[in-house]
Amino acid sequence: MSFLFVGIPSPSRNYLPYLCTLSAPLKSLGHKLNIPVTTIPHIRPELKTWKPPSPFFPLSGPPPSNHLLLTASFGRILPSSLLSLFEPTLTLNVHPSDLPAYRGPAPIQRALLNGERETAVCVIEMKRRGGIDAGDVLGRIPLTIPSGIAYGPLRDTLAQKGGELLVSILRSILNGNEKRTPQRPLTPTTPHAPFITPIDYNLTLHPSVLLCASRFCEYHRPLSSVLVRCAQGTVLRVPMLRSEFKSLMSAKSWWDGIQQHWKDSEGCITFTNTNPLADS
């Protein structure tokens, strides 16, 4: 069987080792790190006319039954011209959410932002019509979201589980005993997962949230983070920051770039309701 695997470098790289254990030829290619790679266009109009490499294009007849299209955390809609090169039942997507919840390109981020405690990873069939991430489910692995986990570790855990699930599903397809289950109907409360936008990065520290005494933030060298003291004895750790109109940078670079007159004698920033430059 020939595979066309479509994904972005991270986290899709976590799925590939599991695919390389499925059959001897693919495993051999994976071990040698000599898997052919083709870069798809980043511009949407060019993606619509992009053609995959041989043996997936051109075709001399109907789509072969041994060609399979796989996507994992790709985050983009594949054009119908590409999907038509494969049998409808042989176009699969690995989606890191408990579908139909969090359909869309940012399921992990949205689940964390909404404080979800449970999630899943699903292998689904890509539908030509009927909505994004709406295809029949071939397999599902549930997962409890650990308290305080960040996006990266959760992404990698779901990718690992997704890789294991994907191999199981591919084996069932080869054996002809896979099961496909339609997703539950959407409801008004079903959460969606649109792209993360700049507004999702905004953090507003209202004075009422901060402690009345020792209200400050400082750079903590051992943690390589800016620490913000908040209410009820809690501390917010921020490893990466971005000032308005500037690029995202490490906490140290951001802290070193702050003008000295914003810092007190101990090198901390104190939150006040007055402008420290008002009298300058």
The pLDDT assigned to 182 comes to: 97
Give CA separation, 265 vs 202, 203, 218, 229, 272, in Å: 28, 26, 12, 18, 16
Count of helix runs (H) and strand runs (E) in the chain: 8, 11
Tens-digit pLDDT profile for residues 36-83:
777 788 788 888 889 998 999 999 999 999 999 999 877 788 988 999
Q: Determine phi and psi for 45, rounding to 5 degrees.
A: -60, -35
Domain made up of 2-175: CATH architecture: 3-Layer(aba) Sandwich (3.40)
The pLDDT assigned to 204 comes to: 55
Tens-digit pLDDT profile for residues 184-220:
999 999 999 998 887 776 655 544 444 334 446 778 8
More confident residue, 33 or 140: 140
Positive or negative, the CA dihedral 70, 76, 82, 88 is: positive
Q: What mean pLDDT comes out for the span 143-160? A: 91
Closest to 67 in 3D by CA, of 16, 126, 20, 4: 4
Is the predicted pLDDT of residue 246 greater than 60, yes or no? yes
The pLDDT assigned to 4 comes to: 72
The pLDDT assigned to 1 comes to: 58
Task: Report the alpha-carbon distance of residue 255 to residue 252 in Å, rounded.
Answer: 5
Identify the weakest region by mean pLDDT among 60-69, 116-125, 249-258, 270-279. 270-279
**Average pLDDT of the chain to the nearest whole number:** 81
| Contact yes or no for 122/100 (Cβ under 8 A) | no
Give CA separation, 29 vs 15, 33, 247, in Å: 15, 6, 38
Q: Among 94-108, 190-204, 246-260, which range has the highest average pLDDT?
A: 94-108
- Tokens matching residue 123: 């292998």
| Contact yes or no for 184/140 (Cβ under 8 A) | no
Task: Report the alpha-carbon distance of residue 190 to residue 168 in Å, rounded.
Answer: 28
Is the predicted pLDDT of residue 92 greater than 50, yes or no? yes
The pLDDT assigned to 57 comes to: 93
| Contact yes or no for 133/106 (Cβ under 8 A) | no
Q: What mean pLDDT comes out for the span 9-20? A: 60
Q: How far apart are the first and last CA of the chain?
A: 73
Domain boundaries, the chain: 2-175, 203-270
The pLDDT assigned to 27 comes to: 41
Tens-digit pLDDT profile for residues 111-143:
998 899 999 999 999 988 888 999 999 999 999
DSSP lists the bridge partners of residue 202 as none
